A and B are shown apart, each in its own frame.
Chain A
Amino acid sequence: MNINLTLFGQTIAFAIFVWFTMKYVWPPITQAMQERQKKIAEGLDAAGRAQRDLGLAQEKASQTLRETKEQATQIIEQANKSANLIVEEAKQQARSEGERLIAAAKVEIEQEMNRAKDQLRAQVAVLAIQGAEQILESEVDPKAHSELVNKLASQL
């Protein structure tokens, strides 16, 4: 338990150890720790950012989906509407076409009838003249009697 040179030996060893620690031990370790801290902070930051981005993207996606759905219903509606319109137009066309056909047919019938009447009238005139010839047993001058016959025929 004597105080002797060991004291200084110990102090010198202490000084060397402290110097070594200060120079070669402390800086690399604390630097690594600091860098890791920074890295972790950055990582957490990035995670937060990514989460926010994800939220935004999800919102955007759902909005797009909603818009698309709306558009789709609009398109369907429009399609329905135009289909109805086409059907309606077709119906209208058909109806008018039919009416037109009916009208044309009527006109033709009228014409046919008139034509038949005219023919009949002419034949009746001929028959009347023949009848009259037989009755009179003589020839009838068609020229002389044509006025009479035509009058008769027009009365038919």
Chain B
Amino acid sequence: MATSSAEYIQHHLQNLTFGKLPGGYVRADGSVVEETTWTLARSGAEATDMGFMAVHVDTLGWSIFMGLIFLGLFRYVAGRATVDTPTGAQNMVEMVVEFIQNIVRDTFHGKSPLVAPLALTIFVWVFLMNSLKWIPVDYIPGLAHALGLDYFKIVPTADPNGTFGLSLGVFILIIFYSIKIKGVGGFVHELSFTPFKHWSLIPFNLFLEILGLLTKPLSLALRLFGNMYAGEVVFILIALLPFYLQWGLNVPWAIFHILVIPLQAFIFMVLSVVYLSAAHEDSH
């Protein structure tokens, strides 16, 4: 276990990384890797040196686990959805579905069978991933340590890979629908002639529009990641206090997250719908 405060914090912000180490690499404990191998990183430096060919096992695992909880619950309800008086889980699920339905109806003006389910998935999934933050910061990493895993970070949305993965999906859909609705020519035309409708300004327009296009997934991912990461850091800082003082800051911060966690999930969902709506709008 880490000893100093800085190490403790760094330790808690390090993902469990499974990646490729090149042959001849000197590991944290001084041993040398004979040839290129896939292995679990034993230090932050090792994880960094693995570069792009690595996977955050904890991020992926927990996000898939949360996704399966979401799908399991909703599919369970969907399978036995009754037209008569709904009870228990169905009430809750229908409340969420109706909430999403209203937002999509108000925000999204095109016709697509994908957008509403997408919004539902984003909202509930991100909410569940965010809500992992309520689990005290040492519980699950401590358990993982007892099982022999050095690093364990459970909040997938506090990992930029997690949030960029989501926004990448949304970005692909934005491009896909832009081209599907407007055609390649229409899409290029839109990028070239907004906001200024003059041929001489095409380069300027292109620069502006492509920047705007790329900003969409970037802002989506960074907003969620920033909020969750910062919140996580504060939780870790609070965890450095003597245990009998922690509740004084921990509890208000957790209560504050009752607002932050659904709000960030909501913002991610609404912005995705807004972006997709813009992609569906044909300006000609």
Contact = CB atoms under 8 A, between A and B. Distances in A.
A22 B117 contact: yes
A18 B114 contact: yes
B89 to A, nearest CB: 11
A14 B169 contact: yes
A30 interface: yes
A136 interface: no
Interface in A16-38: 17-18, 20-22, 24-33, 35-36
Q: What is the predominant secondary structure among interface residues of chain A facing chain B?
A: helix
Nearest to A2: B48
Interface string B116-132: 11101100010000000
Interface stretch (A3-11, A115-123, A145-153): A3-11
B209 interface: no
A11 B53 contact: no
Contacts of A24: 75, 78
Q: How large is the interface on B (under 10, 10 to 19, 20 to 34, 35 or more residues)?
A: 35 or more
A25 B48 CA distance: 39
Contacts of A33: 94, 97-98
A26 B97 CA distance: 8
Contact of A14 (B13, B93, B165): B165
A15 B165 CA distance: 10
B117 A26 contact: yes
Contacts of A1: 13, 159-160
B125 to A, nearest CB: 6
Contacts of A30: 97, 101, 116
B165 A18 contact: no
Contacts of B54: 2, 4-6
A121 B70 CA distance: 146
Given A7-B161, A25-B78, A29-B77, A20 B169 contact: no
Nearest to A19: B117
A31 B168 CA distance: 30
A6 B114 CA distance: 24
B60 A21 contact: no
9 closest Cβ pairs, A-B complex: A10-B165, A6-B161, A32-B81, A22-B117, A26-B117, A28-B78, A6-B56, A21-B117, A4-B54
Interface of B: 13, 15, 17, 19, 47-48, 50-56, 59-60, 63-64, 67, 70-71, 74-75, 77-79, 81-84, 86, 93-94, 97-98, 101, 113-114, 116-118, 120-121, 125, 156, 159-162, 164-166, 168-169, 172
Given A3-B164, A21-B74, A30-B116, 9 more contacts: A2-B50, A5-B55, A6-B165, A10-B161, A11-B169, A17-B71, A21-B120, A26-B117, A29-B74
